[in-house]
Amino acid sequence: MKPSSLRSEHAAVGLFAPVFSRGPVAREVSDAAFLQAMLDTEAGLARALSRAGFFPTEVGRAVTVAARADSFDIEELSRASAEAGNPVPALVRALIAAVPREAADAVHVGATSQDIIDTAFMLVAKRSLLFVLSDLSAAAETCAALAERHRATVMVGRTLLTPALPLTFGLKAALWLEAIGRAKARISAVFASLPLQFGGAAGTLSVLEDKGLEVSRFFAEEVGLVEPPVPWHTFRLPVIELASALSGASAVMGKVARDSLLLAQPEVGELESRGDGGTSSTLPQKRNPVEAVSVLGCTRRVPGLLATLVAASEHEHERAAGGWHAEWETLRDLLRLVGSASAWGRELVEGLRVDAVRMRRNLDATNGSLLAERVAALLAPKVGRLEAHSLVRRAALFARDAQRPFVDALFEDEECRFALQNAGLDRPRIEQALDPLTYLGSTDAFIDRVLAIHRGKKNDTGPSVIR
């Protein structure tokens, strides 16, 4: 067969591909890569059959030598797939034609189309997840460094997009780190448990008679997947678990991107991307946050794909009538988009510049009112929690509206001043209480805990990560 005229060496071709196909995962889920995974599956089966004594060892080797994607025409296989509803029958015919005559009988023995496609998807996922794990690991390392470096860099903590309490950027980075670590752990667990699919026409391996389990064990070893207790052809938990872990990583990277985007707004100015930024087609002065926006462009598409895979998981009897087919492009898109989001996310965090001066300036612009909770807590033993809250809130609202220092508002309100003085809280004591560096609670302990967990995980033996 003629080699494909498609640009198989490229992950994707298209106007939008650079945004939604960032990084190497797009290449790993390309047509050429998926074809190679199907061929690797067929070759692994042939070698397993040889090991089980069905064929001589050289037969399995011959199939393996012939199973090279660049020897097959993807466009021709694509056209032929419409006749059978999937590309495997055409691929089997082409592979039989490509191997020596003595090896032809060893192609696709005992397998059905779903065995080849499901196993190929697990191989594609395994190859793709290595790059996702690599990007998550790199992002985690950067977040760990940010957490340590900025553990005392105070900033405004915001709830419902409004100032709430002081915190440190180190704590925010530690939160990113912990979430990335959780996402990475879930993906690592899925990576280690991706299963072979091998059941034959109806999940019985009847063609192999009493040798089915032996071939299955050898098959799993040959392709580097886990041998499941039984074929999972109509129970799609492996697909849902994979999709769920990917969606978790997507959610984490989306959160990091959203935080970064909000803190990088010029009106806030607490973070900045190290790169030149994106240009506008109209406005010369614009410097757009391309990395964060691209992460979010990818992650916004992920929930719908997860929902489709879950909805498609209810399969009829021993072979699905449409649900299985709905998974193919959906799962491929999910892998590609999460791979792109993780690649963009890594670039985002590695390029962040932290403006500690602006963080402190924005905190000081609240005129001390972010420590109102602390003043109320000091006052509560004398007047009660509700009364303390009411008095301090009135002073805080006045300070905000009048653009006055919070400490002035506290002592200019006659009732509040009387309550403070009666509680032994003079102005120097309140000014000391309004220092944000003295009201960070367990911040250091939280950062230390997350960093310790991260360092422990770094010493764990996990899947080999590519870079």
Residue 369 is a catalytic residue = no
Please answer whether residues 86 and 325 qualify as being in contact, where contact means their C-beta atoms are separated by less than 8 angstroms: yes
Question: Could you confirm whether 455 is annotated as catalytic?
Answer: no
- Judged by DSSP in three states, 235 sits in strand
Handedness of CA 223, 228, 231, 236 (dihedral sign): negative
Which parts of 150-286 fold into alpha helices (H)? 169-193, 212-223, 237-263
Angstrom distance (rounded) from CA 96 to CA 206: 22
Could you tell me if 109 and 49 are in contact, meaning their C-beta atoms sit under 8 angstroms apart? yes
| Cβ-based burial of 159 (10 A; exposed 0-12, middle 13-18, buried ≥19) | exposed
As a whole number of angstroms, the distance between CA 22 and CA 344 comes to: 7
Q: What's the CA angle centered on 306, arms 304 and 310, to 5 degrees?
A: 115
Q: What share of the chain is helix, strand, coil (3-state, %, to 5)?
A: 65, 5, 30
For residue 433, the surrounding DSSP H or E stretch is helix 427-433
Q: At what angle do helices 237-263 and 290-299 cross, to 10 degrees?
A: 150
Q: Which of 280, 393, 429, 442 is catalytic?
A: 280
Give yes or no for a contact between 66 and 99, defined as CB atoms under 8 angstroms apart.
yes
Q: What is the three-class DSSP state of 229?
A: coil
Identity of residue 183: A
- Interacting residues of 356 by C-beta distance below 8 A, sequence separation 6+: 150, 153, 169
Active-site choice (182, 319, 400, 404): 319
Structure tokens belonging to residue 71: 């020897």
- Please tell me the number of Cα atoms within 13 Å of 78 on its side-chain side: 9
63, 43 Cβ separation under 8 angstroms: yes
Pure H helices in 85-232: 88-98, 113-149, 169-193, 212-223
- Quick one: which of 57, 56, 4, 58 has its CA closest to 34? 4
Active site residues: 280, 319
